[in-house]
Amino acid sequence: MLTYIDSHAHYDAEQFDPDRAELLEALHKGGVRNIVNIGCTLERSQFSIDLAEKFPFIYAAVGIHPEDAADTPSDYLEKIRKMAENEKVVAVGEIGLDYHFEGFDKELQMRFFEEQLDFAEEKNLPVVIHSRDATEDTMRILGKRGKINGVMHCFSGSAETAKQVLALGMNISFTGVLTFKNARKAVEALEVVPLDRLMLETDCPYMAPEPNRGKRCDSGMIVNVIEKIAELKGVTPELVAEKTMENTLKLFSRMK
């Protein structure tokens, strides 16, 4: 049995309302060593902490997703600060930029991104970064800070961008997208990411890998991603599981 970590999940999502507790226990017994539940709003960050307090193998990240910035009160950072005092909070995230859907407020997203980067730095916490259709601005904001202690999640950029992310000292994390038939770009990016900088995630309930594409995703499906990476890198699935676990524990150093 493979043992592995899901470094980015959303078990607060309503898709898990019918069977959340049973599912999480079963996943843990089935090889999922740890799960990091990622915050997107104040409420969902608190939900992540509540989950982490209920299940010893779950940890939390707290932060405001760029798409949620517009609905977040301006004093949010005080609340994030309070939440981050909880010892099961291992990172600030997910934070970043998302220009995918019409009507986004670029200036506001950038302000939230930079404020939370500052906060993470001050607290010495790693960051989980979300960037969609915003590579240029994301890389500019990160680049002016020099080194970044964090992970670029659900990586969808080019091999060239992957190299820049690695040069900042960050890890890169892939989802089930890697298994999709049209995943050429992700596969090319994976080629430049060494095993000691790689992390795994589901981003569940979204992004279910093949052969479950389109279904509700859960952490158990990481096995499909592990097998794909092993095949592409010419190593064993065990090695992929082990190295990604090591990398995650190193980055999220509050995890046990």
CB of 204 to Zn ion, least distance (A): 9
Cα 222 to the center of its chain, rounded Å: 13
6 in contact with Zn ion (CB under 5 A): no
Name which of 112 and 239 has its Cβ closer to Zn ion.
112
| Nearest residue to Zn ion, by Cβ distance, number only | 203
CB of 38 to Zn ion, least distance (A): 5
How far apart are the C-alpha atoms of 206 and 201, rounded to whole Å? Answer: 11
> How is the beta sheet containing 89-98 ordered, strand by strand?
4-9, 32-38, 58-62, 89-98, 127-132, 150-152, 171-174, 198-200
CB of 31 to Zn ion, least distance (A): 22
Q: Which of residues 166-205 bind Zn ion (CB under 5 A)?
A: 203
Name which of 44 and 88 has its Cβ closer to Zn ion.
44
Name which of 13 and 232 has its Cβ closer to Zn ion.
13
Name which of 15 and 237 has its Cβ closer to Zn ion.
15
The residue ranges that bind Zn ion (CB under 5 A) are 203
